A and B are shown apart, each in its own frame.
Chain A
Amino acid sequence: MQQIAPAAHDVAVLPLRTRRERLIAAMARVVSEEGYRAASVSKVVAAAGMSRNSFYEHFANKEDCFVAAYDATVEQVIARVRAATAAERTPQAALEAGFAAFLRYGAQEPELAWLCVVEVLAAGPRALARRDEAMRRFARFLDSGREEDGEGVPGLMTEVVVGGIYEVIYARILEGETARLPELLPDIMYVWLVPYTGVARATAARLAVGRRLGGRPDGLHVAPDIGRSVRT
């Protein structure tokens, strides 16, 4: 009988997940409920409804499965960000769309967000090295989307912004505010833009992004004497 391979884009939306994906999803569930240290292969296979044997067909141990879950999530986030930026015409619009997609992913996948942002710090040196690499990829993405040449801005700035975004996301997730991550977008855009555009243009961009988000007025307050000047 002839087998017809599905088109690549169909594979991603197949409702039946592979066994490996089921184990990865189970790992995310277990660590977001109990933390990495308390997680065990037994708990993961129980959560996945699979046997220990099938776990060891895919992964060497708990750490291996955790790192695989981390890697798979990072690839998925990158794919989403790429898709979001592709349609935008200016680097700044692409950056905004990319950040927005990134924050939305976290809000929609709270268990994976917890795994990648919180538990990764407790999962040993391999996981830490993966985190380091993911942060570097994110930094390269930011630098590639910069409109200004950034003369005189220290190279460390991008790394500080990437680390800072990680930290504020971490704090929100720990506070149980994962669903509100997309609201960070205007302020993140401000901090990213300000060394290159100055405070006035960064403020204007922040307000514009806030309006496009549907304008939650809290956190977007503007000084009473500001008038329209910041938009010029």
Chain B
Amino acid sequence: MFSERVYGRQVPAASDRSPQRLPRGRHGLPRRFIVHNQRERMLLAVAEAVAEQGYATTTVADIIARARLSRRTFYEHFTDKEECFLAAYDTVVEQMLAGVGKAYESGGTEWTRRVHEGLEAFIQYLVDEPAFARMCIVEVVAAGAEARGRRDAAMRVFVDFLEPGRAEAPRGVVVPELAADIVVGGIYEIIYTRLLRDSADELLEMLPELVYCALVPFVGHEAAAVAVRENEARKAAERAAAREGGE
């Protein structure tokens, strides 16, 4: 597992930390990974190589050149490029999902607020970690059947975050199960196209609209719009209070 550096300060005793325990960044997500063994160096190298040149054209030679390790060392850890890629993907996604899950939980008892917090943490992570974003969102679908399967498993975690929304629907309405799949897939597509165009920053500006889109199949237009407005107002108030407290 990668250990972490938070705001330039290296977290001590990385080996004692469980992967689930993340440093407290803005959203409890890791800010940067520091690698300190050969395997981790190769995981970081494959993530960066794939993000830069695409999965198809990345070779084992590219990975070991970045990691500054020998070909023999590579094959001691992995049988091929795909296995190395999948290991890196799993490592990054596990940490990302842990952070998103924590943000979701921080939303308290209101489901609409939990969705907002979780989605914000997700997008912030993608903006903060462009190489990992590229690997997990864009390259993963070009890296073969196994990688696609891993991506689908990650998407199901997001579907589970929306699942409680079915209980939020007005009385007598049964929201189709496919609604969560469509919304999660649709948000994935929005992110995919923006990363492809190198405009990840747009995603942060879109956050309120994305939250609306996630909520609306469950609660309808009015309730979704109100929830987004209230969440935004509360966040703005919290930021203002934090600024005053800091002065």
Size of chain B's interface in residues, with CB distance under 8 A? Answer: 43
Q: Is the interface of A mostly helix, strand, loop or mixed?
A: helix
Are B189 and A221 closer than 8 Å at their CB atoms? no
Interface residues on A, range: 35 or more
* B174, A190: Cβ atoms closer than 8 Å: no
Kindly list chain B residues whose C-beta atoms are within 8 Å of the C-beta of A227: 172
Interface: B35 (CB within 8 A): no
Interface residues of chain B: helix, strand, loop or mixed (majority): helix
Known: A154-B209, A167-B188. A191 touches B174 (CB 8 A): no
A117 to B208 alpha-carbon distance, docked (Å):
29
- Other-chain contact of B186, A124, A154, A167, A230 (Cβ < 8 Å): A167
CB neighbours (8 Å) of A226 from chain B are 172-174
Query: Is A206 an interface position by the 8 A CB rule?
Result: yes
User: Which among B68-76, B94-102, B105-113, B177-185 touches the partner chain?
Assistant: B177-185
A187 touches B170 (CB 8 A): no
> Counting CB contacts under 8 A, is B216 at the interface?
yes
Q: Select from chain A the residue with minimum beta-carbon distance to B148.
A: A174
Assess A223 versus B213: contact at CB under 8 Å? Given A161-B186, A167-B188: no
> Within 8 Å CB of A71, what residues of B?
none
Residue of B nearest to A192 (CB): B182
> In the assembly, what is the distance between CA of A168 and CA of B152, in Å?
11
- Looking at the complex, which of A44-52, A76-84, A103-111, A194-202 is the stretch in contact with chain B? A194-202
- List residues of B whose CB falls within 8 A of some A CB: 56, 141-142, 148, 152, 155, 169-179, 181-190, 192-193, 196, 206, 208-210, 212-213, 216-217, 219-221, 224-225
